[in-house]
Structure 1
Amino acid sequence: MITDAATRAVAADLERQSARWLAAASTFLDAEEFASEPAWRSVELYIGMPLRRHLKLIVDELIDIARATVALTRAARRDALAIPEAMRAVQNLRRRYSQVETTLDFFGDAVSTRTSPQLRATLQSLDALAAAGMEAVLGQAGHPPIPVLTYIDKGMGASILRADIRLWAPGSINPVAAIKVVRFHAYLPTSLFHEVGHQVAAVTGWVPALQASLGRVLAPDPELRTMWLPWASEIAADVFAFCHTGYASVAALYDVVGDARTILRWPIGDPHPVGWLRTLLGCALCRGVYGRGPWDDLEAAVVTAFPLRRADPTVRALLDRSRRRMPAIAAACLATAVPGLAGRPITTAVDPRRVAPAALAELERSAGPALWTSPHWRRTEGIRIVALTGLREAERPDEASAWIARARDWMTATPMAA
């Protein structure tokens, strides 16, 4: 029995703290602490149920730790020698609680963006499109399907929390690919396939292979090699979006990077290519696969609106030399042997010729008006419908509003099956 009053006070307070953390952790057992029941129900069965089971395991582990801590603090009230261990346990519990809360809060916020029937339908469509975008590559790589949870947020840039990476809670592995889609691109979601590209690249070992390809192409110019190799991850994702949605992805990307304040800047450490080069690479990809087309006009618009003389002198020559090597860079991106695809290039799994303007025009002609209403076309050609919509919106500026409205109506209709 502890007789010293001060030590007794410490022991009693440790028990109080541990009981408080246990009580708070117990509230996490109710998923509605983080999102409403209708919001959880709006997430398809194959996403929502596995995710909730995974989150429950995290919470159960936290509660087990909290109960063990309570037991330690109670023992410390009887034995002063147990107080240091009890203090460490309480501090560990505090940290674990915050890590679990961050994990639950992230997914709760993501699910809660499905606040209306329109947004629920849109996000369910985006879930299915993203899953379909990975399907062929994952299958050929011998990898099981990866469930996707999309959510809406502000800003200009999409992002992904990849499946199979560690979450904030120790020992917790993300069971879904959680993709942020910004409102600006929600109805012309080419950026969705950029983010999916990051997931595919991680599964297939694409990025190191692409770095090696770029290194070989740029070997005669060590400065350019140093510049371009750290961008390989973002370039792979851009190539993946291009293979899925063609020119639509390039035009949409320019909408994001075409900020006069930043398009010619090269912030050291930024994993994204300079916006000016990134757009020109997209145009070069189009030219390499499709020949001449509206991407030529886009490139002319970019270099006219943002001439190299506006770039910082320390970067200007690198941008100019990069532009002159762009056809070779684009060819290397398309031809890189991907380890997870048995050394075949990404174009063998996702053929960009399927979203060539002529191929999309034939889809539009053969399907007719049913392309925008038929569940069959939604299920079998959803990604190409996104590519067609983006192409028409980009190449027909006078009809852009009508195409965006058509895309919105299509995205908010009955969701396609994944």
Structure 2
Amino acid sequence: MVKSAGYKMVGGNGVFFPILGFASIIAFIYLSFGDLLSVRYKNEINLSFVERNGTNFVVDGKLFYINGWNSYWFMDHAVHVDSRPRIRAMLQAAAKMGLTVCRSWAFNDGDYNALQITPGQFDENTFKALDYVIAEAREVGIRLLLSLVNNLDAYGGKTQYVKWAWTEGVGLSPSNDSFFYDPSIRIYFKNYVKTILTRKNTITGLQYRDDPTIFGWELINEPRCITDPSGDTLQDWIEELSAFIKTVDNKHLLTVGLEGFYGRKSPKRKTVNPEFWAADMGVDFIRNSAPSAIDFASVHIYPDQWFKRKSLKGKLKFVADWMHSHIEDAEQVLNKPVMFTEFGLSDLNKGFDPSQRDEFYKVVFDVIYESAKKKGGGGGSFAWQYLVEGMEEFNDDFGIVPWKRPEMYRIINQHTCRLAKIHGAYKPVTGNMNRICNGRW
């Protein structure tokens, strides 16, 4: 993931890298999770759908606050047998830390290992890879927040849809923002979404829309429509597509996938937004999150990409203020939960030290914990991104292998345990909180 001036690219060009350190991954799985490896698709796990009650997530009537993470690469790595162990290793490690939801991509449009080769044409081998990811997550009781398209070019994105329409002679404009207003492209995307939601998993036998392993759907990763800074174009797209999804799948939660910027008409554009440019991205956090079909709001946190001159102390103050503002909006305006579905600190910053990332994570976790103590609307956070050993060439400057640094591992586990202590543990399928927290909860 490369970020600059408020822009982001994820996963490079999606090229598959040969597996590195395969033996070390197998050794890691065996030594750390040997007791979990015997579980193989027994279909005996009884998961319930996550629901929304006002500003809270609930599972079986109990409050559900999420300590989650991003591993966007799951489907891509599941295509090839030799890289599949990475998915299992990551999920097993997450289960050991008591993590409960992973955000990942359910798209790859016209790229290497493409899921959608051309509009309406799907690669069954890649679809089976996504089946595998969902089945593996189900085995350890971890849910998935699945994103349906990228605003960015990585893995195809909205630009690929525009190219398809342009090539077929039906596109209105070569601008990639025409993704949001071109009727032909809307048809492409609706067909894609319906195909995903109604897919019958070849491993579990469940249609995706009937599988509680899926926490929910995200319309698009980090939408922006800079050709219409008023926000009207994007808002129309959100309202139509969110309503459409609910006609196909009314069991799962739905979010937009926003970065959280306040738009031109918002009074918070000058007091809360990171910088002046954020109000001109054609988005607005409150307006975009308001439609009735949108179940929860989403926000991202990248202070070192949004500010180049602030000190670490200044950036951390911004993070706390940014999160409190959006939680306040979720509770007082939207009456919906908000999740901080990406947060990260780059190791390319001048003078970077891992302890700075520790401080950053602590701030994010502390704000969520404060909200949870009050049964508030700060529903959870998702680190960008977690990986396993052997993925150095696939990593970006935000990614970490959590268990490689004892202090970071402790911080993540502590957050899991104190959330469990407040409202009672959501018991993992592969373990229990007493083991994860060593009896300290």
Q: Same fold (TM over 0.5)?
A: no
Larger proportion of helix: 1
TM-score, reference length from structure 2: 0.24
- Give the TM-score normalised by structure 1: 0.25
Bigger Rg over Cα: 1
